[in-house]
Amino acid sequence: MLDLTLMLLVFGLSFAIGYVLISRVPPLLHTPLMSMTNAISAVTILGAFLLFAGDVDGTTRVLGGLALATAAFNLLGGYAITNRMVRMFRSPGAGTKSRV
Partner 1 sequence: MNDAMNVLVDLAVIAMLVVGISRFRTPRGARFGNHAAGLALAAAILLVLVRNGVTDPITVALWTAAGGLVGVWMALRVDMTRIPGMVALQHGMGGVAAFLISALELVHGGSELGAVGKASGYLGLAIGAATFSGSLLAAAKLDNRIRQAPTRLGGHNSLLATLAIAIVCLSVASSTFDGPALAIGVGLLVVLSASFGVLFAMRIGGADMPVLISFLNATAGLAAAFCGVIIQNRLLIACGATVASSGSILTHVMCKAMNRSLANIFLGATGAARPATGSGSPSAVPAASPAAEGPTSSAAPGTPLASVKAADDRPLADRLHDVARVALGARRVIVVPGYGMALAQAQFAVVQLTRRLEEMGKEVRFAIHPVAGRMPGHMNVLLAEAEVDYEKLCEMDDVNRDFPDTDLVLVVGACDVVNPAAIHTPGTPLSGMPILMAHTARHVAVCNLDARPGYSGVENPLYRQSQTTLLFGDALETVQGLRQAVDAAAAKPAAGAGVPAVAT
Q: Please give the Cα distance from 76 to 38 (Å, whole number).
A: 10
Q: How far is the CB of 41 from partner 1 (least distance, A)?
A: 4
DSSP 8-state assignment for residue 89:
P
Q: Is 98 in the site for partner 1 (CB under 8 A)?
A: yes
Pick out residues in 20-79 that bind partner 1 (CB under 8 A).
21-56, 59-61, 63-79
Mind spelling out the 3-state secondary structure of 15-59? Answer: HHHHHHHHHCCCHHHHHHHHHHHHHHHHHHHHHHHHHCCCCCCHH
Q: How far is the CB of 98 from partner 1 (least distance, A)?
A: 6
Whole-Å CA distances, 94 to 17, 28, 65? 35, 18, 45
Q: How far is the CB of 3 from partner 1 (least distance, A)?
A: 7
Q: Is 2 in the site for partner 1 (CB under 8 A)?
A: no
Pick out residues in 3-22 that bind partner 1 (CB under 8 A).
3-4, 6-7, 10-19, 21-22
Q: How far is the CB of 55 from partner 1 (least distance, A)?
A: 7
